[in-house]
Amino acid sequence: MIQIKGVFNGSFDIVDNIKVSPFSRAYTFSDSVYEVVPFFNSKPIAFEAHLKRLEFSSSELSISLNLEKISNEIATLISTSGFSNGYVYYQVTRGVDALRSHMHESSLEIETFGYVKAHLFEWKPLKVSICDDIRWNRCDIKSTSLLGNVMNMNSARKNNCDEVIMHKDGLLTEAGASNLFFVIDETICTPALNGNILPGITRALLIDELKANSIKVLEKDFSLDDLSKATCAWLTSSTKGLAPISEIVNLESNLDIYNLVYKSSEEIFNKKFLS
């Protein structure tokens, strides 16, 4: 049995030894936020950006953070893991109720939990399906409340799909656990950020690097019809990197996973962050 190293409220231990109250608001209300911090060659990727997003998510829930403590715990998980490449999952919860209640006491002490896992930054072509975006309207908050994602992704799994691409009334939002990019007429396109899209760190890193290499990225509202015209498409996330889409099962498309625009984008990203 694999023993996963973790930290709970400042105490480091094997995850199986950690005990959490059933009245934790993470259990009863998903009143919690999280981050996934990747590291390569034992160095975290975009550490400050991940901490800043965690701070934003927490502030939207009026949860105060000790960022120095969190930063130190994540760094310790990485340095003591024995892994060169991997990621840290880190979660912040409002606290534990005396008894389940929608309205929480202001005196609750926050709970923090993290663990570290080895990860190979290798990605295979993805088979995806299109589905309605049934999530709430604050997807810019990286909340642990992911039922919409879970329902859509497990429905797609029944069709042997690896991921989903979601839309609201025909306008593309994002994937189940990733951001979406695609190419039309040699132009790289991605849906513009709004409350229905998580501002992905890998998304931002890629856009910045592409612009630094004088490659234009078009950010605006895109439709399913736009996606059907794409010559290639890929998903980005902290653990996927740039994963090409080989097939969209319920949308007519002709995607080339060896497209030169995708391959050059992947090369630019990997050279900067994964080498």
Residues 108 and 142 in one domain: no
The DSSP string of 95-159 is -B-SS--SSPPTTPPPEEEEEEEE-------EEEEEEE--S-S-TTS-BS--HHHHHHHHHHHTT
Q: Which domain holds residue 77?
A: 5-118
Domain final residue, candidates 118, 147, 181: 118
Residues 17 and 144 in one domain: no
Closest CA to 191 of 210, 208, 166, 215: 166
Q: Where does the pLDDT of residue 2 fall: very low under 50, low under 70, confident under 90, or very high at 90 and above?
A: confident
Residues 73 and 188 in one domain: no
Residues 9 and 108 in one domain: yes
Residues 16 and 93 in one domain: yes
CATH of the domain at 96: 3.30.470.10
> What whole-number distance in Å separates Cα of residue 148 and Cα of residue 120?
27
Residues 138 and 265 in one domain: yes
Domain final residue, candidates 118, 142, 158: 118
Greatest CA separation for the chain: 58
Domain final residue, candidates 118, 136, 156: 118
pLDDT at 164 over 70: yes
Residues 109 and 132 in one domain: no
Q: Note the pLDDT of residue 1.
A: 67
Task: Give the mean pLDDT of 109-127.
Answer: 97
Number of domains the chain is built from? 2
Q: Which residues contact 127 (CB under 8 A, 6 or more apart)?
A: 160, 161, 162, 163, 245, 246, 247, 249
Residues 103 and 140 in one domain: no
Q: Where does the pLDDT of residue 183 fall: very low under 50, low under 70, confident under 90, or very high at 90 and above?
A: very high
3-class SS of residue 7: strand
The pLDDT tens digits of the residues spanning 10-44 come to 999 999 999 999 999 999 999 999 999 999 999 99
